[in-house]
Amino acid sequence: MPDPSSSPTSTPATDPAKRVRLRKQMLILATVLAFAGVVVLAFLTRIPLPLRLAVGLTDLIASAVLFLVVRQKFA
Annotate the chain with three-state secondary structure. CCCCCCCCCCCCCCCHHHHHHHHHHHHHHHHHHHHHHHHHHHHCCCCCHHHHHHHHHHHHHHHHHHHHHHHHHCC
Q: How far is CA 66 from CA 7, 12, 26, 28, 60, in A?
A: 27, 17, 7, 10, 10
User: For each of the chain's 75 residues, which pLDDT tens digit applies?
Assistant: 666 666 556 666 678 899 999 999 999 999 999 999 999 999 999 999 999 999 999 999 999 999 999 999 987
CB 27 within 8 A of CB 70: yes
For residues 53 and 59, give the distance between their C-alpha atoms in angstroms, rounded to a whole number.
Answer: 10
| pTM, two decimal places | 0.78
